[in-house]
Structure 1
Amino acid sequence: MPDMPSDAPVIRHYIAGGAEHGGGIGRLVGYVLSAGDAGDTSFRHVVVDTRGPGLSLLRSPARLLQAMAVMAADTLRGAPVLHHLHIAGRGSTVRKLVLGAWARRLRAPYVLHLHDYAYADDLARRPRWQLEAIRRLFLGAARVIVLGERDRATVRYALGVPPGRIALLRNCVPDPGPRPPHGTDPQEVGILFLGQLGPRKGVPELLAALADPAMPAEGWHATLAGDGPVAHYRNEVARLGLAGRVALTGWVDAGRAASLREGSDILVLPSHAEGFAMAVLEGLAQGLAVVTTRVGAQGEVLVDGENSLLVPPGDARALAGALSRLVADPALRARLGADGRELFLSRFGMSGYVHALEALQADHLQIGTALPRSA
């Protein structure tokens, strides 16, 4: 990273699992860190892991205490620091309740960045006392960042955050550059899924779609890359007679994921719920033909038949139809890929994202002393 003044403002990103094991949130922040390595940031961005890798009940409390100690040390030094709390539902909200209360006690400014795939549903399951604590957490934030209009409405109406303190900032990814042409030689069409294996990501209907008679008998192969119950889904692949053409890799790191995208033609993510899937953005950036669902913020920016093919969640037959069309029609694949990449270049470049993020943070580094003290 280029040298910065020792008193340069610091943005601390609090993520369960850190940048490497924090899922899509970690990947997004990892891209921000990479922008810093390239000298494209005005702040020092630092990651604080609030849980550790995996879901260890023994490791998580220690990590949380370490994160609280980092906040306290920043306050004692009087350093210009903004604490950027990346929040989702379930255990993530519990950890951020602790960190938010601690930040308010320290009079340390913090921003909440909501990434959940269905936060309104998560709130609806909480007991009243938890819901009140979550409201205090959100109302104590200098700013709440959301991915789309659905989450803006949740934060405003369910949690009472004033509209002027809510900022919409969609996920972004780095530009991998133009995708090398595959040429005109006959080849198998590569179908790629990147994500956690399970029902929420639509893996059961994806396998059903790949086994559907609508799919061409030859000329394609599929790779499913992600963690989860890999052995279970390998058994499903064998049961459906797909063992010769569907591969499951298990978890892959960012470099391997980039290599898989580069060698593929179609990115498929038939999720039942999303915030704004990083895998979809990465597929658009790579110039792949994207097949996904109109869920979360994706339905706010993707247009069926123009820059993607959108299918209803849970509809294996519709998914098979979309995939079979793309396998059989190279011109359609090329057009969707080109239009998807154009959408990415016009709205989702990483440099613009980092500058917008830092502009929000620069404002709120000035108001830390005005934050409420109560927890």
Structure 2
Amino acid sequence: MIVDRVVAPQRIHHLHIAGRGSTARKLILGWLARRLGCAHVLHLHDFDYAQDFRRRPPSHQRLIRDLFQKADRVITLGRRDAGTVVDLLGVPQARVDILHNAVPDPIRGAIKAFPDTGKDVGIVFLGQLGERKGVPELLKALAHPSMEALRWRAVLAGDGPVDLYRAKAAELGLTNRVTMPGWLSADDARDLCRDSDILVLPSHGEGMAMAVLEGLAQGLAVVTTPVGAHEEILTDDVNCAFVPVGDPVALAHALADLVTQPERRNRLAGSGRAYYLRALSMEAYMSRLDAVLASVRPGRLAVPEGRGRSA
């Protein structure tokens, strides 16, 4: 049964690819799919694949271009990555599809409201602790004078150099207000979001951040940066609050505004949840993915290497 699923010509091989070691593995799997005469789709997930590609030697670049150009379809997370695939890797525009990420619905019902009860406002960060995710700026923002007198608590959940950032938080006087539990399971992360009010992710680079989608799905007010495909799914002051990359002062003001204005939190959260249900749910995602796969013609005859179609 396993062998049949791999080698049957009518199968479509759906290969998820990113930079670094993922590309090396997909070079092998893409070659195998072509040798078996099976259609294959490349699904690109990377926060900056163009940078990863340019760092590689010319011999590797030729193999990668060949892999992408011989794929039946290439799926990207957003317009920036689609431009990389077309302009840098030479894939015809007609064979490139944009498919935004999705997450399962964690609520299955109406979202909560955020009445002004005087309770501490919950701020949550989900992601690897590091510079690319904007954690240094986030800690500076939480320690900013505009946040000092407000009632809030924050949980920064994720792996990475947790002890280092705990020490930085202590240096900034945040020990009693900021918790860093390390990596959380999916269930624990959902529970954390359920008990929070604001999701913040001040990333320097993303394809499309799953944490942002989790925040929208959970009905949280989302604060993030306009990187990757974020600007394609989010609109500032409609379903999120955008802040500039690397600007802890702007981030502090954005967080302080949401902490002190429950009405605005409710508005952004409700609009974000509505957009999630309309465009970022698993049902919407699978419908679009089915349409992409339906455009692929399985059962192609295998062709000798070097004589396949090129872009």
Q: Which sections of structure 1, spanning at least 5 residues, go unmatched?
A: 1-5, 7-69
Residue 80 of structure 1 deviates from its aligned partner by 4.2
- Asked if residue 165 in structure 1 is aligned to residue 98 in structure 2, the reply is no
- Asked if residue 147 in structure 1 is aligned to residue 89 in structure 2, the reply is no
* Larger RCO, structures 1/2 (Cα 8 Å, 6+ apart): 2
Aligned mates of 2:269, 2:178 — CA distance in 1: 22
Contact 2:9 2:36 in 1 (8 A): no
Residue 342 of structure 1 aligns with an amino acid whose one-letter code is: A
What residue is the counterpart of 1:22 in the other structure?
none
What residue is the counterpart of 2:49 in the other structure?
119
Residue 196 of structure 1 deviates from its aligned partner by 0.9
Aligned mates of 1:355, 1:305 — CA distance in 2: 29
Aligned mates of 1:238, 1:372 — CA distance in 2: 61
Secondary structure at 2:145 match in 1: coil
Aligned mates of 2:6, 2:275 — CA distance in 1: 42
What residue is the counterpart of 1:369 in the other structure?
300
Residue 334 of structure 1 aligns with an amino acid whose one-letter code is: N
- Asked if residue 330 in structure 1 is aligned to residue 262 in structure 2, the reply is yes
Secondary structure at 1:173 match in 2: coil
Residue 267 of structure 1 deviates from its aligned partner by 0.3
Residue 24 of structure 2 aligns with an amino acid whose one-letter code is: V
What residue is the counterpart of 2:136 in the other structure?
204
After superposition, the Cα gap between the structure-2 partners of 1:372 and 1:162, relative to the gap in structure 1 and judged at 3 Å, is farther
Once the two structures are superposed, what CA deviation does each residue of 1:100-150 show, in whole Å capped at 9, x if it has no partner?
Answer: 122222222211001111111111111111111001110121110011111
- Asked if residue 261 in structure 1 is aligned to residue 225 in structure 2, the reply is no
Secondary structure at 1:256 match in 2: helix
What residue is the counterpart of 2:121 in the other structure?
189
What residue is the counterpart of 1:353 in the other structure?
285
Residue 183 of structure 1 deviates from its aligned partner by 4.6
Aligned mates of 2:79, 2:12 — CA distance in 1: 25
Aligned mates of 1:88, 1:196 — CA distance in 2: 17
Residue 225 of structure 1 aligns with an amino acid whose one-letter code is: A
What residue is the counterpart of 2:25 in the other structure?
95
RMSD: 1.8
Secondary structure at 1:238 match in 2: helix
After superposition, the Cα gap between the structure-2 partners of 1:204 and 1:368, relative to the gap in structure 1 and judged at 3 Å, is farther
Residue 174 of structure 1 deviates from its aligned partner by 2.1
Aligned mates of 1:285, 1:74 — CA distance in 2: 34
Residue 233 of structure 2 aligns with an amino acid whose one-letter code is: V
Q: 1:129 aligns with which of 53, 59, 84?
A: 59
What residue is the counterpart of 1:37 in the other structure?
none
Residue 123 of structure 1 aligns with an amino acid whose one-letter code is: F
What residue is the counterpart of 1:110 in the other structure?
40
1:209-224 to 2 correspondence within 5 Å? Answer: 209-224=141-156
Number of positions where the alignment pairs a residue of Structure 1 with one of Structure 2: 304
What residue is the counterpart of 2:309 in the other structure?
none
Residue 82 of structure 1 deviates from its aligned partner by 2.0
Aligned mates of 2:125, 2:260 — CA distance in 1: 19
After superposition, the Cα gap between the structure-2 partners of 1:157 and 1:370, relative to the gap in structure 1 and judged at 3 Å, is farther
Aligned mates of 2:150, 2:195 — CA distance in 1: 18
Contact 1:109 1:371 in 2 (8 A): no
Aligned mates of 1:170, 1:194 — CA distance in 2: 19
Residue 211 of structure 1 deviates from its aligned partner by 0.8
Residue 235 of structure 1 deviates from its aligned partner by 1.1
Aligned mates of 1:168, 1:370 — CA distance in 2: 27
With normalisation by structure 2, the TM-score equals 0.92
Aligned mates of 2:91, 2:178 — CA distance in 1: 46
Residue 208 of structure 1 aligns with an amino acid whose one-letter code is: K
Aligned mates of 2:114, 2:262 — CA distance in 1: 11
What residue is the counterpart of 1:289 in the other structure?
221
Residue 160 of structure 2 aligns with an amino acid whose one-letter code is: G
Once the two structures are superposed, what CA deviation does each residue of 1:162-220 show, in whole Å capped at 9, x if it has no partner?
Answer: 11111111111222232233555321000000011111110111111111111142410
Contact 1:272 1:295 in 2 (8 A): yes
What is the aligned-residue identity percentage?
Answer: 53
Secondary structure at 1:201 match in 2: coil
After superposition, the Cα gap between the structure-2 partners of 1:105 and 1:329, relative to the gap in structure 1 and judged at 3 Å, is same
With normalisation by structure 1, the TM-score equals 0.77
Secondary structure at 1:197 match in 2: coil
